[in-house]
Every structure is written in C-alpha cells, then in structure tokens.
Amino acid sequence: MPQIKLIAGLGNPGNEYVHTRHNAGFWFLDELAWEWKAHFKEEKKFYGEVARVARPEGEVWLLKPNTFMNRSGQAVAALAQFYKIKPEEILVVHDELDIPCGRIRFKLGGGNGGHNGLKDIQARLGTPNFYRLRLGIDHPGDRNLVVSYVLNKPSADDRALIDEAVAKSLKNLPLILAGEFEEAVRVLHSSK
C-alpha cells in the first residue's frame, strides 16, 4: 500500500496571487502547516517552500512551489527525486474548474483537465499516477474567461465554500495518510 510522503499544494508565488482561486492548493497547505505546527522555509534546490513533518505514519514533506503554476513539476520532481519518493506517494492539492465551489474530489491518476500545474507535474514525473485532492472553484462558463477567472479573487460566498472544502479535506486527511483511500473518497465526495 503506498503511503503519502509528499503533499504539494499548487499556487502562484507573490502577494498579487495570495487570494486568487488558483492558490487554493496553497490555502490548504497553509492550514495544514498551521495544524501540524510545521514551518515552511525556502529551499532553492527544491524551487519552493518546504516543511518536513514527523507523523505517526512516517515522514511527510510539504511543498509550495515558487515556480509559478505552469512549472510546478520542476519543484515536485526535484524534491521527489532527491528523497526517492515515488509518484504514487505524492498528493497534489489544487484548484479544479470542473467541480462546483465547495466540492472535493480525490483520485489517483487521470488526465490533467487542462490544468497547467498538473500538466507540468505529469511531464516531469513521466506519469499521471500521483494522487490529487481537487478543490472545486467552479467554472466561469466560457473557456475564454478561464485565465482571468482563476487569477482573480473569489466572491466572499465562494471563498467561504472553498474554505469549508479545505477544512473538510484537512479533517479527512488522516484517512488518506492511513491508506484508506476508498473511505476517503466516500467521505470527501459526499455533499455534507
């Protein structure tokens, strides 16, 4: 049974992006670091901010790439290769246009749905077979509006829904870390 050894939250570095929808993965990781009392520090060789956490299940690395979204794989692959972490031991947390705000999906592998962060991670790992925790941010309805949509702040109501999804994901993260993937899917995919 694979054990998650690296949790990468996707987003864009810089103050102008902090509150944008594309940074939902960073929001998750910031909450997780607070909960686990972990402290990020910049690691140039891993192209991001990194925290190492000793957990009952074993050591878990937290990673927030500083590479901008479309080069996320550079950071994920650098850390994974250095510590010999297999793709199926990686959990990537990211925003997802194809899911309504506040909903969550958890899965192993699959396509990238046009998400540039996932696309780069797949290319650099050479496989799509890593776990994804997908935080719904909704779709603007027109593909031509996607870029400005993901790079803007959600409404207060949408942000509250995304924050609830982050909280629910954190509450059920122990299932994922324990390898209880089917139960994690059942709980995370439910609307309650």
Residues designated catalytic: 22
Average pLDDT, the chain: 95
Ligand-binding site membership of 70 (annotated): yes
Question: Which CATH code fits 6-69+84-189?
Answer: 3.40.50.1470
Ligand-binding site membership of 116 (annotated): yes
Give SS3 for 93. strand
Ligand-binding site membership of 112 (annotated): no
Summarised one tens digit per residue, pLDDT across range 2-26 is 799 999 999 999 999 999 999 999 9
Which is nearest to 122 in space by CA: 130, 134, 114, 132?
Answer: 130
Summarised one tens digit per residue, pLDDT across range 53-67 is 999 888 999 999 999
* 125: number of Cβ within 10 Å: 18
> Which range (34-38, 78-82, 113-117, 161-165) has the least confidence?
113-117
Is residue 163 within 8 Å of 104, Cβ to Cβ? no
High-pLDDT (> 90) share of the chain, %: 93
Buried b (16+ CB within 10 A) or exposed e, 141-170: eeeeeeeebbeeebeeebbebbbebbebbe
Summarised one tens digit per residue, pLDDT across range 141-152 is 998 999 999 999
For the chain, what are the domain ranges?
6-69+84-189
- Which position has the token pair 């793709």? 87
Q: What is the pTM assigned to this prediction? A: 0.96
